[in-house]
Amino acid sequence: MSVSNGLVGSLSLSLNTLQIPLFKPAIIQYKSFTDDTIITAILQNLLAFMDTINPSSSSSSTHQWKYHVFLSFRGEDTRNNFTDHIYAALNQKGVYTFRDDEKLERGEPISPMLLKAIEDSLFAIVVLSKNYASSTWCLDELVKIMDCRKNMGLIVLPIFYDVEPTVVREQTKTYAQAFVEHEKHFNKNLKKVHTWRAALTDVSNLSGWSLEDG
C-alpha cells in the first residue's frame, strides 16, 4: 500500500487479512517512553504492517478510506508529549492521521464528525493512559473503534502508556476509580457502562505496546 498525504483511496480489503495479529509476543514492553527510539519502533512496525495490506485483495466490501490512522487518547495525559510526538512522526512519514484538537467539555457527547472519522480510518491507535477511562468521550470513542474493528475491518493498535494492560483489562486502580463515578452518574443506564467495560477488556487483549515510565 502506498502511503501518502490526502485520501487513502478506495481499497478492496479482506477483513480476515486485516485482523491478523501484528505482534508476537502480544505486548512489547519499553521501560522509558521519553526515548525517541520507541516512537521510531512503533512507526516502523506500523509502516511495515501497512505494506502487508494488498489493495487488490478480494473482498465483498470496498470502502473509501479518508485517513490512514485515527488517534484516540486522553488529552490531559498525553496531548503535550507522547501523543504530539507520535502524531508528528506519523505525519512526517506521510501517514495521514486524524486527531481531535478541541478541548472537550466535561460530559459533552461525542460528535458525529469524530464517529465518521473513525469509520473513515484504516487504523486506530488507542493510547490507553492512566486517566483514559475517566473520560466518557474517550470511552464512547473506544466503543465505536471496537465496533468498526468487528464490522468494518478497522485495525486497532493499543499503546498502554504508563498503565499495565491488566489494569485496563480488569478495570482496577485508576480505572476502577473512574467506573465508580460512571456507575453513579449513569445509574439509570448501566448498560452503557457495561459496554464501556467490554470495550476496554477487548482492546486490552489485542497485540500492542506497553510503555512504562522508567
Contact 171, 200 (CB under 8 A): yes
Cα separation, 133 vs 100, in Å, equals 17
141 is catalytic: yes
∠ CA 157-154-67, rounded to 5°: 90
Cα separation, 43 vs 149, in Å, equals 21
In DSSP notation, 63-104 reads EEE-EEEEEE--HHHHTTTHHHHHHHHHHHTT--EE---SPP
Cα separation, 163 vs 155, in Å, equals 22
In DSSP notation, 49-62 reads HHHT--TT---S-E
Q: Which of 127, 116, 128, 111 is closest to 154 using CA atoms?
A: 116
CA distances from 72 to 93, 114, 190 (A): 19, 10, 24
- Catalytic position from the list 76, 105, 119, 141: 141
Cα separation, 157 vs 22, in Å, equals 9
- Report the catalytic residues: 141
